Structure 1
Amino acid sequence: MRQQYDLWIGGEWRQAKRYEPLTSPYSGETLTQIAQASPAEAELAIETAHEAFAAYGLMPAFRRSQILYRVADIIDRRREELAALAALEAAKPLKAARAEIARTIETYRFAAEAAKSITGEQVAMDAAEGGQGRMGFTLRTPIGVVTAITPFNFPFNLVAHKVGPALAAGNAIVLKPAEQTPLSALALADMFSEAGLPSGVLNIVTGAGAELGEILTAHPLVKKVSFTGSHTVGEIIQRQAGLRRTTLELGSNAALIVDKGTDIEPIIDRCVAGAFGYNGQVCISLQRILVHASLYSRFTELFAAAASRLVVGSPLEENTDITSLISAKAANRIADWVDEAVAAGASIVTGGRRSTEQGNSIYEPTVLRDVPRFAKVWTEEVFGPVAVLASFENLDEAIREVNASRYGLMAGVYTPDLNSAFKAARQLEAGGVVINDIPTFRVDQMPYGGVKDSGKGTEGVAYAVQEMTQLKLIAFNLG
């Protein structure tokens, strides 16, 4: 690891005027010094991307595809090194970091395939009176400069979900990673350079979102903003972006319905993984679990027992399941929310404490029941290792409970009844409904986007490419 990381602009490292230390969330040790871009430096990156787009937007699809395939191969070759990097800067347990790297490789390969599959369609001009003697078809063209603002929790793969489609479509991009996880993004600079990406097409600026946000979302040369993060920041970005295209993935409060007749023992470990994977710091982490009354007591017992067996420790240890949250601030907020729920009548089935393993940034896997519906752990996105259990008498009641949330990214339903499965699939208000699995399920080629306060737009590589291209009509008068 270098002692200092600069900005990546125009295919070269550029020193910034200011640097800040990057510390490990787990140990508190200083890892390196990170450039803090100014608005002027971010503007330079945008202008550089705009200049590079003029040529890159004309690059043949097969060449764009080759570059993305090469990047995937480079990541594959360096997967252990990159997994360790995510474990250091994001406190992501090593086994979770390895899984993320594997998905990242696949995401760039999907992007490589998508680059060769960007097509238009024929338009039946003569279907309208006055359209005879004319031929029409559509093209999809790159839109220009895309800015991407990414979160800390999947520092490689969520970056790939923005960078991969942008480059596949022929756009140039300016990437601003989360303040806590710049190293994962900066690692892409040398990898894309090695893969043959022309200089200036990918630019990486690190620094504070509050300082750089407006220039990245409102600059005249920016044509599209792709953001993953909080609802509060997403609303600010939308206001700043105006009429520009935006994709906003703004979080969730993912719920699972376990319907009557479900064989619960085989699904417990899966539910625990969905609730507590990467400390619950996942946009579609399983937070609310609604279990039919006939199964509720047994499910609660098995789920809490499995949660209590999770291993708490260093992210660099092979068997660690739970480790430090991204910050002490996050741990404090989660503790406050749990305390609020308990004070209002909720019961702690297991957990509910900061671990003594590593100060107050580790919060034990926590299972709550009897939670009032006004408590934040029920209404808001916890983004931590907390799961809330509740019982229901019939499926209609459970669907109403799930839909009462202001969020709607993913939902899950376990049921042995086909009619119940289709009913839930139709009626649940979410961008995706997973039948007989947890809402945390995601593969990287599927469409992914929420409704209500979970945001707007769709990710999933091919779908993101559509949103990063402009549909253009070509019409011929044949005489």
Structure 2
Amino acid sequence: MSLRQRPVSPIWVGGRPQHGEDEFLVTHPWNDAPVGATSWATQGQVETAIRAAHSIAPEFAATSAYDRAAALEYMRRRIEEEAETLAELISAESGKPILWSRIEVARAASTFRWAAEEVRRMSGEVQRLDTDASGLGRLAYTRRFPRGPVLGITPFNFPLNLVAHKVAPALAAGCPIVVKPAPSTPLAALQLASFFSETKLPHEAFSVLPASVELTKRMVADARLPLVSFTGSVPVGHEIQHAVPDKHVTLELGGNAAALVCADYSQLDWAVERIATFGNYQAGQSCISVQRVFVESPIFEEVKKKLVTAVKALRTGDPFDPTTQVGPLIDVRSAHRVHEWVQEAIAAGAECLIGGDEPAGAELAPTVLTHVPRETRVVGDEVFGPVLILEEVANLTEGLAAVNDSKFGLQAGVFTDNIATAMRAHRDLEVGGVIVGDVPSFRADQMPYGGMKNSGVGREGVRSAIEDYTSERVLVMPDVF
């Protein structure tokens, strides 16, 4: 694909396309070529968007399930119609290989499909109260009602689908939403807003505002946005949480996901292929990328040999080459940070099995380390780069303890053929999700998704997010029975 500068994309303020005062370029991480441009929202445009969301909230909450579902289905259809264009846009602004960008687009379409289906199921719950003498003749009907407008703050690594995971549940719940996308990858979110403008829902209910840090803080603090849904780094997430303790805040803050390969597992080639691929598939820039790998002693040497071979075979290079599996990091600074962490670990005594090279621009060779001291950052923090830490454990008990030895707890993968081991992992692992027979990177967009410890609070996944964006209200009726 020949990267050419696109027209300046408008921002969306209260459902209307506008331009801010200061334009900025969006560049391709692979070669720093311009791939588009948009503008920073002004303080006045931020105020207009918030006021529009606040003002339209009662009307939007009263829209019918039919209208919301129809709009969500329309957006799904538009995503599918523009699938290849969107995939190219994602690869252009994020550097994600086109292979993975196409998958992201398909997932975003599914996210809107699930939201449309959930709207149709939001019928509430009926409970008879004459199960106790004090409730004779009474019936309780419980429904969920929207909490109000949402501020959705999204990261760069999934420029379309993580925006979809804020927007689709909000629209399904009847909540207006203001999205603040990552400044390095705003274009897919802006395109999504244009699709919404074609629906019959009140256009004031959706804004997309590339905004400065200062204006973002003002949006977080604004009482007219009572919900904040943030996906990003731990320090920023905690800053938001502490800044607005009276708001309903959901945080997805990432982790250093682990995979445990048990000696009873019979499909080692599958395990190794999945670990190699999903430790590196977005240059490691996914909060559930495999980072730590623990292998039981009887199979450790075999897995180590296979893993190095599998990582070596990964195709790196131009994101628009359909055979590329590992592209660049989001920028040169990130590549140098990850390389610094790797060199720190090697200096502390780690053995580098493959990789460890100096970055070439924003590209960093996939790296596997072993015998890594616990206190190094590549073990204790979120690398967010193409680095795997491979370590030997004596048995299942030691392996589960090693997985839990982390300040994060998003998801973990356990490769085992033993149902009892799977159930024990589910019981003992301090994570939001345990994936059996696969890597922690597996995510179905309809399932609950979120973490424990420093990995955040609340759950995404369409139904779970709708529950976060709504609150229960009970109606008690007399003389029913």
* Shorter-normalised TM range: over 0.9
Deviation sequence 1:124-172 (CA, Å, 0-9, x none): 4344553334332111112220110001111111111110000011111
Cα pair 2:67 2:201 within 8 Å, conserved? no
Distance 1:255 1:160 in 2: 26
Describe the SS at the equivalent of 2:197.
Answer: helix
Distance 1:196 1:354 in 2: 52
Tell me what 2:58 maps to.
54
Distance 2:218 2:45 in 1: 10
Distance 1:195 1:72 in 2: 11
Distance 2:110 2:166 in 1: 14
TM-score (norm 1): 0.96
Letter of the 2:241 counterpart? Q
Tell me what 1:457 maps to.
458
Tell me what 1:252 maps to.
255
Distance 1:13 1:316 in 2: 30
Cα pair 1:39 1:211 within 8 Å, conserved? no
Deviation (angstroms), 1:471: 0.7
> Matched residues, percent identical?
39
Aligned residues: 475
Tell me what 1:467 maps to.
468
Cα pair 2:108 2:160 within 8 Å, conserved? yes
Tell me what 1:149 maps to.
153
| 1:230 counterpart = 2:233 | yes
Cα pair 1:259 1:413 within 8 Å, conserved? yes
Describe the SS at the equivalent of 1:216.
Answer: helix
Cα pair 2:180 2:216 within 8 Å, conserved? no
Tell me what 1:352 maps to.
356
| 1:172 counterpart = 2:172 | no
Letter of the 1:472 counterpart? R
Structure 2 gap segments, 5+ residues each: none
Cα pair 1:258 1:292 within 8 Å, conserved? yes
Cα pair 2:410 2:431 within 8 Å, conserved? yes
Distance 2:126 2:411 in 1: 35
Cα pair 1:254 1:408 within 8 Å, conserved? yes
Cα pair 1:314 1:320 within 8 Å, conserved? yes
Cα RMSD of the aligned pairs, angstroms, is: 1.5
| 1:304 counterpart = 2:308 | yes
Tell me what 2:441 maps to.
440
Q: Return the match for 2:285 from 281, 284, 302.
A: 281
Describe the SS at the equivalent of 2:349.
Answer: coil
Describe the SS at the equivalent of 1:352.
Answer: coil
Deviation (angstroms), 1:417: 2.2
Letter of the 2:228 counterpart? V
Letter of the 1:145 counterpart? P
Distance 2:42 2:144 in 1: 34
Describe the SS at the equivalent of 2:103.
Answer: helix
Deviation sequence 1:15-35 (CA, Å, 0-9, x none): 212222222211112233321
Describe the SS at the equivalent of 2:202.
Answer: coil
Which residues of 2 match residues 198-237 of structure 1 at below 5 A?
198-208=202-212, 210-237=213-240
Describe the SS at the equivalent of 1:303.
Answer: helix
Letter of the 1:464 counterpart? A
Tell me what 2:417 maps to.
416
TM-score (norm 2): 0.96
| 1:100 counterpart = 2:101 | no
Distance 1:52 1:325 in 2: 40
Deviation sequence 1:406-454 (CA, Å, 0-9, x none): 0000011111222222211210110011111111111111110100100
Cα pair 1:341 1:371 within 8 Å, conserved? yes
Deviation (angstroms), 1:457: 0.2
Distance 1:80 1:266 in 2: 29
Distance 2:409 2:357 in 1: 29
Deviation sequence 1:441-470 (CA, Å, 0-9, x none): 111111101001000001110111111112
Letter of the 1:224 counterpart? L
Describe the SS at the equivalent of 1:144.
Answer: coil
Cα pair 2:112 2:168 within 8 Å, conserved? yes
| 1:197 counterpart = 2:201 | yes
Which residues of 2 match residues 371-390 of structure 1 at below 5 A?
371-390=372-391
Cα pair 1:354 1:360 within 8 Å, conserved? no
Tell me what 1:391 maps to.
392
Describe the SS at the equivalent of 2:134.
Answer: coil
Q: Return the match for 2:245 from 242, 250, 256.
A: 242
Distance 1:123 1:38 in 2: 49
Deviation sequence 1:48-78 (CA, Å, 0-9, x none): 1122223221111011001111111111011
Q: Which moved more, 1:445-454 or 1:421-430?
A: 421-430
Letter of the 2:415 counterpart? Y
Tell me what 1:340 maps to.
344
